[in-house]
Amino acid sequence: MQLLSGNKKMEQKHFHTIPSFISKSFGDNIELLPSVDELFEIEMAFLEFNCLSKEELLERSAFIKSIDNQHTKHYLLYSNYNATINESRTAQTQAYFEEGQFSTGYSTHGLFPYRGKFHPQLIKGLLNILGVEKGETILDPMAGSGTANIEAAQMGINSVACDVSPFCQFMIKVKYESLTIDLNLLENTPLDNKKLFDFFKQGNVLQRISEVKDTEKQKIYNLAFLAWLDALGYSKRVVRSNHEQLFEKVLLRYVETVKSTLKNPYFKQNEIGKTTILNHSEALKIDLPNESVDCVITSPPYSFAIDYVENDKDQLEFLGYDTKELKNKLIGLRGKNKTDRLNNYFEDMDKVCAEISRVLKKDKYFAMIIGSNTNQTGGIRLEETIINSAKKYNLPLVKSILKPIKGMRNTMKDEYILIFKKI
C-alpha cells in the first residue's frame, strides 16, 4: 500500500460509506425528477439549485421533484400523465410522450409535433438560471413552433416571437391561445367533424375565421384548423387513413390536450404571460426598439440538414403562400449551391447576433441551443462561428453546456447550450 508523508497509511474508504453524487451535490432533502438522468440535466438542476431560493425552486424549478418532501409545482403540474390523449397514436409515439411527461410532452407543447424543436423543460431551466422574472420580456427571433414563448407564458413571463414562416406564426398563435380558451365554452361547444372538415377545405380559412364575431369561438376554430392542417400533412405520409379520418383523431387529441391543461388545478390561467407575434418581421431585422428585451433564447434553423419549407409545404401551400419565395427568405436556404447557402448562412447568423445585441438590455443574457455537424458544413463548427460573431457585438460567452443528442439517425450528435452576456 502506498504511504503518505509522515509514514501515515492511506485510510481505506468503502464504497458503501461514500455519499451519492446527487446527495453530495444537492443535500439529502432534494429529490430530482425521475426523468433527470443525463449529465446536462443534472448540471442544469445544479445551476437552478444554486441560483434560486427554496421558495423559488418550489415554484419554478424544471428539474427538481421535491424539497423536504414538498413537491415542486412542475411535478404537481405534470405528474398526472393522461394516456388517453395519445391512445390513437403508435406505440412508439405513446412511449415518447409518456417518457417525456416532465420534459417534452406536457401542456400545449404537444400540439403539432415539429422537427428540430427543443425541450420546454430545458427552456424553463434556462429562464430560471438566467434570472428572468415574472413580467419581464424574452425574445425568440427564430421561434419555430414557439416552445420558448409558450413555456415563458406559463411562467408568467412575457415574450416576443419572430419567425419568417407564416405557418409557424399561426402555430404559435394557436398554442398560446389554447392556454387562454374559455374552458366552459370549449366543453359546451359541439364539434361536428364533418362540418368543420368541409368548412376548412374550402380555403381562405383564416380570413373566414377572423369574421367570426365571438373572439373566444375564434380560438376554438383556430385550434380545430391547426388539427386539420396537422392531419393534412399526416395524410400524405400514411395510406391506411384519409385526411378526413385523421382529422377526427387529431382534433380529439387536440381538444383533450387543451382540456387537460386547463383543468389542471395547478394551472393558473389568469397568471400566464403575454405572447406577442411579430407577423411582419424576421431575425435579420427585428421590429423592436433598442435594448427592449430582458433575455433572448433561441435555436438557429439547421436548413442545410432540414428543409423547413419543404417540411411544411402542404400547410404553407394550402394557406396560399409561395414556398419558393419563402425559401429565399429563410436562413440557410438562400443560394444556388451548397457553398453559396453555407456562406449566406454564416453571414445571416452574424447579422442575427448583431440584431440580438441591439434589442437586448445591458447586462442581460442571450442563450442559444445549437448543434454541430461538420459533415454538412464543410468542416466548420457552427458553435464556434456563433461564439465569434456574438463576441463582435459585445456578447462574450460566459457559459457552455454540452448536450449530447441521442439516436443513431441523428445527423448531429452534440448540441451546445451557449450563454452570452451583453456588456
212 and 148 fall within a common domain: no
Would residue 109 count as lying in a domain? no
158 and 209 fall within a common domain: no
Residue 152 belongs to a domain with what CATH number? 3.40.50.150
332 and 247 fall within a common domain: no
Can you say how many angstroms the Cα of residue 76 is from the centroid of all Cα atoms in its chain?
20
Would residue 419 count as lying in a domain? yes
92 and 131 fall within a common domain: no
- Structural domain total, the chain: 3
What is the 8-class DSSP label of residue 9? Answer: B
Which amino acid is located at 401 in the chain? I
The answer to whether 277 and 161 have CB atoms below 8 angstroms apart is yes
Please give the pLDDT value at position 3: 46
Would residue 9 count as lying in a domain? no
Average pLDDT per block of 10 residues along the chain, 423 residues long: 50 79 91 93 97 97 97 93 63 61 85 78 98 98 95 98 95 97 95 96 94 95 97 85 94 95 95 96 96 96 73 92 84 74 88 98 97 65 91 98 69 83 97
Pure H helices in 12-53: 21-26, 39-51
Phi, psi of 66 (to 5 degrees): -155, 155
How far is Cα 192 from Cα 385, in angstroms, rounded to an integer? Answer: 52
Would residue 137 count as lying in a domain? yes
Q: Give which of 124, 120, 117 is closest to 107, Cα–Cα.
A: 120
- 296: domain range? 118-165+273-306+325-423
210 and 70 fall within a common domain: no
How far is Cα 153 from Cα 149, in angstroms, rounded to an integer? Answer: 6
Paired sense of beta strands 293-298 and 137-140, if any: parallel
CB atoms within 10 A of CB 291: 14
What is the 8-class DSSP label of residue 162? Answer: E
Can you say how many angstroms the Cα of residue 251 is from the centroid of all Cα atoms in its chain?
22
Q: Give which of 344, 350, 318, 315 is closest to 331, Cα–Cα.
A: 344
pTM equals: 0.90
Please give the pLDDT value at position 218: 97
Decide which of 67, 102, 137 is a domain's last residue.
102
266 and 291 fall within a common domain: no
H or E segment and range at residue 421: strand 414-421
Q: Which three cell numbers stand for residue 287?
A: 421590429
198 and 248 fall within a common domain: yes
Nearest 5°: CA angle at 41, between 69 and 395?
Answer: 125
Strand partners, 171: none
Residues 6+ apart with CB under 8 A from 316: 165, 166, 167, 309, 323, 326
262 and 280 fall within a common domain: no
H or E segment and range at residue 1: none
What is the 8-class DSSP label of residue 50? Answer: H
Would residue 13 count as lying in a domain? no
Q: How far apart are the first and last CA of the chain?
A: 54
Would residue 7 count as lying in a domain? no
87 and 124 fall within a common domain: no
How far is Cα 224 from Cα 222, in angstroms, rounded to an integer? Answer: 5
Burial of 210 (0-12, 13-18, 19+ CB in 10 A): exposed
Q: Which three cell numbers stand for residue 229?
A: 392542417
How far is Cα 390 from Cα 402, in angstroms, rounded to an integer? Answer: 18
3-state secondary structure 360-420: EEEEEEEEEEEEECCCCCCCCCHHHHHHHHHHHCCCCEEEEEEEECCCCCCCCCEEEEEEE
Altogether, the residues listed in the chain come to a count of 423
Please give the pLDDT value at position 1: 44
Paired sense of beta strands 360-372 and 414-421, if any: antiparallel
The answer to whether 156 and 135 have CB atoms below 8 angstroms apart is yes
73 and 190 fall within a common domain: no
Residue where the block lists cell 395519445: 86
Decide which of 78, 102, 126 is a domain's last residue.
102
Please give the pLDDT value at position 356: 98
Would residue 317 count as lying in a domain? no
351 and 259 fall within a common domain: no
Decide which of 102, 128, 155 is a domain's last residue.
102
How far is Cα 141 from Cα 285, in angstroms, rounded to an integer? Answer: 9
Residues 6+ apart with CB under 8 A from 124: 60, 62, 74, 151, 155
Would residue 401 count as lying in a domain? yes
The answer to whether 150 and 174 have CB atoms below 8 angstroms apart is no
How far is Cα 390 from Cα 421, in angstroms, rounded to an integer? Answer: 10
Residue where the block lists cell 448540441: 415
297 and 416 fall within a common domain: yes
Burial of 68 (0-12, 13-18, 19+ CB in 10 A): exposed
